[in-house]
Amino acid sequence: MSYDITSKTRVTLLGGMAIGILCLALSWFGDDTGMHTRFWSNFLHNSVYFTGIALMACFFMTASITAWAGWYVVFKRVWESMSMFMIVGLVLMGIMALSVYLDWSHLYHWQDLSLINDPSSPEYDPILAGKAGFLNKNFYLFGTFAMIGAWVFIASKIRSLSLAEEKNGADGFNYHYRVRWWAAAFLPIFGFGMAAMVWQWIMSVDAHWYSTLFAWYCGASWFVAMICLTIMILLFLKSQGHFKNVSTEHFHDLGKFLFAISIFWTYLWFSQFMLIWYANVGEETVYFHERMHDYPVLFYGNLIVNFLLPFFVLMRNDTKRKMGSLAFTAGIVFVGHWVDFFLMLKPGILHTAHAMAGHGHGDHGDSHGHGDAAHGAHDAGHGAHGAAEVVLGPAHHGETIFELGYTLPGFLEIGTMVGFLCLFLFFVLNSLSSVSLQSSSDPYIEESVHHHT
Amino acid sequence: MAKHKDIIYGLYNDEEDLLRAVKQAKADHLEIMDVYTPFPIHGLDPILGLSESRLHIAGFIYGSIGTLTAFLGMSWIFTKDWPQIYGGKPHWPVPAFIPITFELTVLFAAIGMVVTFYVVNGLGPGVVNPTIDLRITDDKFCICFDKSEVDASAVESFLRSSGAAEINSKTI
């Protein structure tokens, strides 16, 4: 049985994409900084979020194949289609990487070569100079294209083998063994590649700061978002009368993953936080100090929405099996992890923007409030003022500057997210509509149809 | 301790036979005392009409007690009983409490649930439980009836017709 994207769905999704393009255009033209930082930061935020969701769909599928799991096979086309979104992710992140390479955008502090080229300059930044072998535009461009390219290549191999299996019959276990080979090959490339690209794309907006478990934390965030989207796409397709064999049992297991990986995400979030809080080293603490004091709503809301809500709502057996509570949680947590990425990216980007504005004036003192904010954190990053000042608060403590689109997501951010979400859904539904939704020749299909938790 | 029971039971060779027989017994309104299998069988609980275990509710309560014990205990010790400053942290360092709070939550929930399970089921050191047939821990599937609740001859004909490999009576 095949799915056809209905005209109503198509119009809705295209409308959402139009809103997204409108919001991107408004944030491009409404920006007076010259570097269009609000546009580029929203573009990066959403590109990274949805590319990562596609990547995680491919990861979970390949991990399940490698683990000989069978329960998900009845809806494996959804994950195959979601992972193919990495093609769009390659274009989006490719545009981002080109903008970094050609200096169209300036989101990353390490892009400013005047800080690392001349050791005798008073502006010289030994930390950034030490990281310049990895944090540079060549590596950013190469890594983005090479890594997403490799992921897309394997994802499309797996999908085409799976579709060939559907067309030609199982052929013994021939197709299955080949899929399993590619899945096992994907996992190490995914693991190391994802960590490196997370450092480049996300962690390096705070170029002085680093955390060794950041890639895990970020990956868990993507993973939860991927499960949320899977639940919502499956519920949507079921409401259209498809996927009759996807039962409460499958949703129960997806609910368990949503519950469990939310707790895993919290564990990583807290591990990162507590070690830095305990050690209280200024270079590290500045990251959380800033988020707790300048972004308190998002910082604590992040924990409430992404931990307390799924933890208490999905703790019981029956809330994972009732579509109302499951869809409710999935929808809210999906937005919650989008905000989590917002909080990873925007504070660092705002600093970079302020530092650039300061350079533009030629004198840090001239750029008053903004310059001070950037300056304070900048110095703390160097360790120039020592840890004590960071604990007491950087120079701008008590006079938090509100900037829409950075301190809190504004309408433009939300509209951009709607646009990217509709693009993602349109791509997934469109690639689902050209294939039979349920595999008939996968060796695990019987097990999956009769899945019982 | 327990009153002696006269039972009649059938042993089946396959779980599919057992599931069919249990459905048949329910349809015939024969009161099943219990079913014994070497491994859990999917779909057996709803056919038998067993309600969901309430052990996890007890587990949640024990866990909550553990959370409160750890958190309030540490809060009292570090703010009232023996306030000290470690590593420049305040007297009430909440993030430092969280790992221990988590551990005690798990510990209380786990031990509480094990003890509850043993008490509710009458298990424990020194308790001897009657075993209907040793082979039900190996490869036989057993449906057991209490003779005081059912008509023994009707049960016997039911067991025979539903494909039981053996039919035995016993006092336990």
Give mean pLDDT, residues A218-240.
96
What are the chain A neighbours of B89 within 8 Å (beta carbons)? 278
Residues A225, A352 within the same domain: yes
Q: Given this model, what pLDDT does residue A388 score?
A: 35
Residues A254, A216 within the same domain: yes
Q: Given this model, what pLDDT does residue A275 score?
A: 94
Give mean pLDDT, residues A254-268.
97
Confidence of residue A33 (pLDDT cuts 50, 70, 90): low
Residues A215, A115 within the same domain: no
Confidence of residue A373 (pLDDT cuts 50, 70, 90): very low
Residues A221, A359 within the same domain: yes
Cβ distance of A452 and B52 shorter than 8 Å? no
Residues A36, A121 within the same domain: yes
What are the chain A neighbours of B98 within 8 Å (beta carbons)? 270, 274
pLDDT tens track for A67-80: 999 999 999 999 99
Whole-angstrom Cα Rg for chain B = 25
Residues B143, B92 within the same domain: no
Report the domain count for chain A: 2
Confidence of residue A247 (pLDDT cuts 50, 70, 90): very high
The reply to whether A444 falls in a domain is no
What are the chain A neighbours of B42 within 8 Å (beta carbons)? 452
Cβ distance of B96 and A317 shorter than 8 Å? no
| pLDDT exceeds cutoff 80 at A415 | yes
Cβ distance of B95 and A273 shorter than 8 Å? yes
Cβ distance of A280 and B87 shorter than 8 Å? yes
Q: Given this model, what pLDDT does residue A81 score?
A: 95
pLDDT tens track for B60-79: 999 999 999 999 999 999 99
Distance, CA of B46 to CA of B42 (rounded, Å): 9
CA A453 to chain B, closest CA, distance in angstroms equals 8
Residues A199, A218 within the same domain: no
Report the domain count for chain B: 2
What are the chain A neighbours of B88 within 8 Å (beta carbons)? 280, 391
Cβ distance of B95 and A452 shorter than 8 Å? no
Element (H, E) at A166: helix A137-168
Nearest to A452 among B43, B52, B99 (CB): B43
Residue type, A345: L
The reply to whether A86 falls in a domain is yes
Nearest to A274 among B52, B60, B95 (CB): B95
The reply to whether A422 falls in a domain is no
Confidence of residue A32 (pLDDT cuts 50, 70, 90): low
What are the chain A neighbours of B52 within 8 Å (beta carbons)? 317
| pLDDT exceeds cutoff 80 at A239 | yes
CA B95 to chain A, closest CA, distance in angstroms equals 6
The reply to whether A353 falls in a domain is yes
Final residue before a domain boundary, out of A351, A383, A399: A399
Q: Given this model, what pLDDT does residue A363 score?
A: 37
What are the chain B neighbours of A315 within 8 Å (beta carbons)? 60
Cβ distance of A274 and B96 shorter than 8 Å? yes
Cβ distance of B88 and A277 shorter than 8 Å? no
The DSSP output letter for A307 is I
Final residue before a domain boundary, out of A399, A420, A440: A399
The reply to whether A15 falls in a domain is no
The DSSP output letter for B3 is P
The reply to whether A17 falls in a domain is no
For A452, name the nearest residue in chain B, comparing CA atoms only.
Answer: B42
The reply to whether B14 falls in a domain is yes
The closest alpha carbon to A17, from A427, A430, A416, belongs to A416
Contact yes or no for A117/A136 (Cβ under 8 A): no
Q: What percent of chain B has pLDDT over 90?
A: 49
Contact yes or no for B166/B17 (Cβ under 8 A): no
The reply to whether A93 falls in a domain is yes
DSSP character string of A181-243: HHHHHHHHHHHHHHHHHHHHHTGGGSTT---TTHHHHHHHHHHHHHHHHHHHHHHHHHHTT--
| pLDDT exceeds cutoff 50 at A52 | yes
Final residue before a domain boundary, out of B120, B140, B155: B120
The reply to whether B125 falls in a domain is no
Residues A134, A228 within the same domain: no
Q: Given this model, what pLDDT does residue B2 score?
A: 57
Residues B65, B114 within the same domain: yes
For A272, name the nearest residue in chain B, comparing CA atoms only.
Answer: B95
Q: Given this model, what pLDDT does residue A414 score?
A: 95
Q: What percent of chain A has pLDDT over 90?
A: 70
Final residue before a domain boundary, out of A382, A399, A416: A399
pLDDT tens track for A302-322: 999 999 999 999 999 899 999
Cβ distance of A278 and B88 shorter than 8 Å? no
For B52, name the nearest residue in chain A, comparing CA atoms only.
Answer: A317
Q: Given this model, what pLDDT does residue A144 score?
A: 96
What are the chain B neighbours of A273 within 8 Å (beta carbons)? 95
The reply to whether B1 falls in a domain is no
Mutate to test the interface with A, among B41, B42, B100, B101 (most CBs of A within 10 A): B42
Nearest to A452 among B42, B87, B95 (CB): B42
Q: Domain holding B28: CATH number?
A: 3.30.70
For B90, name the nearest residue in chain A, comparing CA atoms only.
Answer: A278
Cβ distance of B87 and A277 shorter than 8 Å? no
Residues A343, A356 within the same domain: yes
Q: Given this model, what pLDDT does residue A370 score?
A: 39
pTM score: 0.88
Domain containing B108: what range? 55-120
The reply to whether B64 falls in a domain is yes
Burial class (CB in 10 A: 0-12, 13-18, 19+), A260: middle
Residues A166, A238 within the same domain: no
| pLDDT exceeds cutoff 50 at A63 | yes
Q: Cβ–Cβ contacts within 10 Å for residue A447, how many?
A: 15
| Mean predicted lDDT score pLDDT of chain A | 88
For A279, name the nearest residue in chain B, comparing CA atoms only.
Answer: B87
CA A60 to chain B, closest CA, distance in angstroms equals 26
Confidence of residue A141 (pLDDT cuts 50, 70, 90): very high
The reply to whether B20 falls in a domain is yes
Give mean pLDDT, residues A31-47.
87
Residues A170, A199 within the same domain: yes
The closest alpha carbon to A165, from A85, A31, A38, A65, belongs to A65
Q: Given this model, what pLDDT does residue A400 score?
A: 57
Cβ distance of A315 and B96 shorter than 8 Å? no
The reply to whether B96 falls in a domain is yes
Q: Given this model, what pLDDT does residue A394 score?
A: 43
Give mean pLDDT, residues A337-365.
78
Q: Given this model, what pLDDT does residue A191 score?
A: 95
The reply to whether B21 falls in a domain is yes
Residue type, A167: K
Q: Which of A59-63, A232-236, A429-433, B5-9 has the lowest mean pLDDT?
A: B5-9
Q: Which of A112-121, A356-365, A399-408 has the lowest mean pLDDT?
A: A356-365
CB pairs under 8 A between A and B: 20
Domain containing A162: what range? 31-208
Sheet with B6-12: strands ordered across: B34-36, B141-146, B6-12, B166-171
| pLDDT exceeds cutoff 80 at B19 | yes
Final residue before a domain boundary, out of B86, B101, B120: B120
What are the chain A neighbours of B96 within 8 Å (beta carbons)? 274, 278
Residues A190, A216 within the same domain: no
- The alpha carbon of residue A6 and the mean position of all alpha carbons in its chain are separated, in whole angstroms, by 29
Query: Which conformational region is residue A68 in: left (phi greater than 0), alpha (psi within -120 to 50 degrees), or beta?
Result: left
Residues A274, A177 within the same domain: no
